[in-house]
Structures are given as C-alpha cells and as structure tokens.
A = this chain, B = another copy of it.
Amino acid sequence: MPMYVVGHKIPDSDSICGAIALAYLKNQIDEPAVATRLGDVSPETAFILDRFGFEAPALKESYAGEEVYIVDHSELTQAPDDISDATIVGIVDHHKLGDLTTSTPLECWIRPVGCSNTVIKMMYDFYQVEIPANIAGIMLCAILSDTVIFKSPTCTTADIRCVEALAEIAGIEDFKALGMEMFKVKSAVDGTPARDLVMRDFKDFNMNDNLVGIGQLEVTDLSVFDNIKADLEADIAKLKEEGNRHSVILLLTDIMKEGSEILVVSDDASIIEKAYGKSLTDGKVWLDGVLSRKKQVVPPLQDAFA
C-alpha cells in the first residue's frame, strides 16, 4: 500500500506542487507514494501544472486506515477530516507548529523558510536524488508564489539559492518573468464569483479556541478589485454567518505596492485592531508592507487572542 502525500485544504501551489515533488522523491527511494489533493486547484496552480506538463493529483478526501505524508501545514483544521484515523508518517512544512499529533514516531522536515518546496529540495539533496526538469519547474514556481518573487518577508537566502538551482535544472533563463506571468494569471479575478475568490486561498486557524478564517488574494494591481470589493465584503459577512467563526478576514495584497488591504468581519473587531495597531474604517484598513499571512498577519493576531 502506498503512502498518500497531501497538502492542506483549499490547496495552494505549494501544497499541490509539493505533493507531486515529494511523492516522486519517495518513489525514487523505494517508498511507494501517491500525490493527492484536498480540493480544487487554483488558476495559478493550473497554469503551473499546464506549463510543465502535469495533471493535477487525484482528489481524495478520506484517509482512514492509510499512511499519509502531510505537506505545507501541521494544523488539524487544514488536514483531512479523518486524519485521526490515519497514520501520519511525515510532515514537510515551513509554518508554525500546529496541533497535529501522532501516536507513533514520524519524520518532520520543518524549516523557517519561505516555502515547503525549499524544504523538499533539501530532502532531494539529503537522499541524493536527481530532480527531473519538469519537477524542478513546478517546485520553482511554488517558491516564487509563496515568496511573492522574493518580496515577502518570509523569503530567506535558502529560498533564493533554491530557486536559482531549480532554474538551472529546469532550464529556465528568466525565472522572474515566469513569476510575473504567474502572478498575472493570479490577478485575473474578473467574472469569478465572490465566494470562489474568498475561498481561493483561505485557511482556518484555531486561535485560543476561536476559529478565525483568513483568505488572501495576491494581485499585481489592487484596482482589479474596484468593481467587486463590495461583493467581497458582503460575501465574507455571509460566510461568517454560515459558520461558527469568530472572525473572517480577507487580505487583498498588492505585490507591486507591497502591502495589503484587509477586509474584516468579526465578533470583536477590537482584537483585530489591537493585533495590527490600526483602526478599521467600514471594516477595512490598508496595512503597508504586509505581504505575508504567515509571518505578518497570523502571529500578531494569535498574540492578540492569547
């Protein structure tokens, strides 16, 4: 029986490309593995897979009785619903340590770098397995996505060196141009239903027993939201009503201006204002320099809830 290699719910490019890259590596070292996914692929991820000739991994939501290698998180809220009935054999990640636990020893490759695929590259190096050109291509794109082409404060020297090495392997001469092409695909939001945009890159967090959902849309120019911002605001209000979240936050990130407008619906907005030291106006505020949910949005909010 193979292990399944799977990223988080509402998969981003790091989760999908990481699952493919890690499953390939595991198979090379005689540990049979199959990449899977927990949800639809985003337009950005579809662009990457298409560019390098991959199909999306199979959708698989139940893992009871299976061995699972978790990619890009260590949080119960982001894992398969029946993860407690599975055996977690490993975790590769670059986030804070979440609340997943196991009853048996496992391997964890977790590093404070910009992308899980940078850690997966370290795994290839450790096992001395050659990376095929097309896998190097999707790994590179995942890192450019997570690090916002190196602009994110989460980006480290390790990520930059990794992209340079992967570009060499993949034969990509201008990886920054490829990154911009990818972010332009990501910026095409017109004509997409508001709920699809809100959920495109959405993660739930358990903050001191309060459920907080945080979505993020990264675009090359915030003006793409001019005509749909009211719809997005209405939709996160609706999303909050439908569930049991304390707060729903949507980050509209301008990767060129290097900052994010946050749209907030909350049981207690003062916690959010405390976290970022800014007052909300009509449930919104611009946070200059904020590009990273992981490093700039989640930790202060978690501290404000503590």
Contact = CB atoms under 8 A, between A and B. Distances in A.
Interface of A: 74, 88, 91, 94-112, 122, 126, 154, 294-295, 298-299, 302-303, 306
Contact of A104 (B96, B101, B104, B105): B96
Contacts of A102: 96-97
A219 B110 CA distance: 37
A227 B122 CA distance: 54
A210 B25 CA distance: 39
A29 to B, nearest CB: 13
Nearest to A294: B105
Contacts of A108: 91, 97, 108-110
A172 B91 CA distance: 36
A199 to B, nearest CB: 24
Contact of A106 (B97, B99, B126): B97
B96 A101 contact: yes
Contact of A88 (B94, B97, B104, B111): B97
Contacts of A302: 103
Nearest to A107: B111
A101 B100 CA distance: 9
A105 B91 CA distance: 14
A299 B106 CA distance: 13
Given A88-B97, A97-B88, A99-B99, A299 B111 contact: no
13 contacts: A91-B97, A91-B108, A94-B105, A96-B103, A96-B105, A96-B106, A97-B101, A99-B101, A103-B302, A105-B110, A105-B154, A108-B108, A126-B126
Contacts of A100: 97
Contacts of A95: 105
A154 B111 CA distance: 25
A112 B97 CA distance: 18
Nearest to A111: B107
A107 B110 contact: yes
Nearest to A301: B103
Nearest to A97: B102
A99 B303 CA distance: 19
A294 B171 CA distance: 47
Contacts of A99: 99, 101
Contacts of A105: 94-96, 110-112, 154, 294-295
